[in-house]
Amino acid sequence: MPDPTSTYSVTGGARIGLVNYTWPLAKLMATADRLTVSTTMFGLFGMGTYSFTRDQVISIERYGWIPLVGEGIRITHSIADYPQKIVFWCRPSSVIGRLTAVGFTPAHTSSEIPNHLSGRGFPLRWLPLILLAVIWNLLIGFEMVTHADGMPLPGPLSLAALSMVFGVSVMAVRLPSVQNVFLKPGRSFGEVKPVFLLVAIVSGIMTVILTIAAVAGGNW
């Protein structure tokens, strides 16, 4: 009989929706009644925590085909607010065995996947994504054309494009009204939150670094 007070934890990588975290940027923890996958960025920024009870897990299956590099476990779940694809990169046979040992096993089967969760498709509207891409390319393209004489880049318009992406990503993370602009009807922002968080962090860091470099280099 599994000990109901025992806890298992392991460090690895993870695939949360469209975002991949390499080792050691993810952690899996389990008790007899709860399974949790958490992720960080650079080990400094908490990116997300995904917690499941046995009733919310449909299956835990081996995933991948490249031993020690591209293999892990896929957690098929019934939580609409989480990304549909959640994979924890690890040695699957070892981790599945340890989960069984602590007593965490799915309470359902793959045949019990709710209809509203199967084949959900891409959760975002294409129009706002296309508009952002068009504005991004117009800003950078105009700067390249107007400074064809060899002015060092990035210039003000390139940094404006980066700042736009950073600002939109941060607003999407924080403001439901902005989330509704991007989401298709009936979809949850939790499905894509890791993507917007990653874009916000990367674009924010790049904006700061390139601004400092441009000012220090006398480009402006």
pLDDT digits (tens, 9 = 90+) for 56-66: 999 999 998 66
What is the pTM (predicted TM-score) of this model?
Answer: 0.79
pLDDT digit string, tens, across residues 149-170: 655 557 888 899 999 999 999 9
Instruction: Confirm or reject CATH 2.30.29.30 for domain 8-117, answering yes or no.
Output: yes
Instruction: Provide the pLDDT for residue 64.
Output: 84
Instruction: Provide the pLDDT for residue 145.
Output: 82
pLDDT digit string, tens, across residues 102-123: 999 998 665 555 555 555 688 9
Contact yes or no for 157/136 (Cβ under 8 A): no
Domain map of the chain by residue range? 8-117, 126-216
**What angle do helix axes 156-174 and 193-216 make, rounded to 10 degrees?**
150
Instruction: Provide the pLDDT for residue 50.
Output: 96
Instruction: Provide the pLDDT for residue 119.
Output: 58
Tell me the residue type at 9.
S
Residues of the chain with pLDDT under 70: 1-5, 42-45, 65-69, 108-120, 148-153, 217-220
